[in-house]
Each structure stands twice: as C-alpha cells, then as structure tokens.
Amino acid sequence: MKKHYLKNNFIGLALFFLMNNFLSAQDQPILINLSDAVKSVKQYHTSEQFNRDVDRAIDDGLANLRQLEIPKNAAFVFDIDETALSNLEYELRYNFGYDPKTWDEWIKEANATAIPGVKRLYDSLVARGIKIIFISGRNAALIKDTELNMKKVGYSHYDTLICKTPEFKGKKAVEFKSKIRKELSRKYKIIGSVGDQWSDLEGGWTIIKIKIPNYMYFIE
C-alpha cells in the first residue's frame, strides 16, 4: 500500500485549510510550514468536527440508499484503514510518519478503534440484511490480525474480507480495488462503497460512493 504523507504532499490539507493557496498574485505557490500542517491535521482528526463530517457523509449515503430498490444479493463494500478502523493512535505515535515495519507491528497489535459513523453505517446495513465486504490494501499475510481487530470492535458479521495479495504488488489501489469489485460482482450486486480515499471508490462496479475525510495521507 503506497501512502503519500504530509511530508510529500499537501493537496488535501491545502484544500481544507486554505481557500486559494495554489497560486499567489505573482503566480508563486504559497507554502505552509510542516510543523503547522501537522498541528492542524492533528487538531482536526482529534476534534468533534471530524466526527461530524463523517456523520454527514454517512447520512448522505444512507439517504441515497433509501432511494434504491435493494436486491436479495445486495452487498456494500468497506475499506478498512481510516474507514472501518481508525489508526489515529499509530499516526500520533509516529507524528504522522510511516514505516512499513512499524505499520505491520501496529496491525499485529490489533488495537485500532472503530470510527463511530462508519460503524453506524455497518450496523444499519447488517440490520437490513445487506452483505458486507471488506477490501483492504493491507498485506494479505496480516489478514488474521486484521480479522481479530475487526471482531474486537464489533465488525463480526461480514461475507468476506480481502487483503492485497502479491499479484497486486506495485499496482495502484484503484486498480486493485476496482478489479476485486468487478470479480465480486459475479456473485453480488454491489450497491455501494465507503472509503477515505477516492481510490477506494473509483473504477466502477459500485453505485453509491461514500467518501469520508482523511487529511493524513492519500493513496492513489
């Protein structure tokens, strides 16, 4: 999973905090101090505003869902990291840095928490008999640790959980996830997807798209 963090990219942060920061009057880019950027992202992701923004996105998705006629084989696809699960503890521990070794160690701890708004969506879908599918860019070798974490926080009813296998090494997330959705569409009618990245949602084979905020990193 290729993550682009604040040290490499400020697109999401700039869109959120600055109204017009691409060019100055002299056509020069306006830069933001890295420590200020990290502070702003930390404040946002630890605030109630973040939860309100997630709830708003979920409410919009549920409203769209009510407009659909739900088939018997309906399924909804969930991303895991920063969608079903919050890794904020890891992000704060390493000051929004990223290292594959510490990331794998964090997954093995199985201590990520559920994002309340997304868990609410999950509970609503389960109550309606809609199948749940998790697709994650996590290494498939860590699927047991992932399943343990999911069950610990209440994601215990799902049809399948798919992590990234070696065949997708070097592929962009959007290629991986859209291909998996296409394959699953032979069995399910995928009526919606929820994720923190546009790469979780693009590429077809879904109807409703629910994008929740993430200003910590982006994944292509």
pLDDT in single tens digits along all 220 residues of the chain: 445 444 334 444 444 444 444 444 456 777 889 899 999 999 999 999 999 999 999 999 999 999 999 998 999 999 999 999 999 999 999 999 999 999 999 999 999 999 999 999 999 999 999 999 999 999 999 999 999 999 999 999 999 999 999 999 889 999 999 999 999 999 999 999 999 999 999 999 999 999 999 999 989 8
Q: Which residues contact 213 (CB under 8 A, 6 or more apart)?
A: 50, 53, 54, 57, 196
What was the pLDDT predicted at 32?
A: 83
3-state secondary structure of 192: strand
Number of domains in the chain: 1
Tokens 């890295």, located at residue: 34
What does the alpha-carbon distance between residue 58 and residue 213 come to, in Å, rounded to a whole number? 11
Residues β-bridged to residue 131: 75
Identify which of 96, 119, 116 has the alpha carbon closest to the alpha carbon of residue 52: 116
What was the pLDDT predicted at 191?
A: 98
Q: What is the CATH number of the domain that holds 154?
A: 3.40.50.1000
Domain limits for position 99? 4-218
Identify which of 200, 202, 192, 206 has the alpha carbon closest to the alpha carbon of residue 125: 192
Identify which of 83, 70, 84 has the alpha carbon closest to the alpha carbon of residue 191: 70
Question: Is there a contact between 194 and 135 (Cβ–Cβ < 8 Å)?
Answer: no
What was the pLDDT predicted at 167?
A: 92
What letter does residue 108 receive in the DSSP assignment? H
What does the alpha-carbon distance between residue 220 and residue 197 come to, in Å, rounded to a whole number? 8
Question: Is there a contact between 194 and 85 (Cβ–Cβ < 8 Å)?
Answer: no
What letter does residue 21 receive in the DSSP assignment? -
Between CA 198 and CA 59, with CA 147 as vertex, the angle to 5 degrees is 40
Residues β-bridged to residue 114: 85
Torsion of CA 31, 34, 37, 41, to 10 degrees: 150
Q: Tokens representing 211?
A: 């994008």
What does the alpha-carbon distance between residue 65 and residue 17 come to, in Å, rounded to a whole number? 31
What was the pLDDT predicted at 27?
A: 67
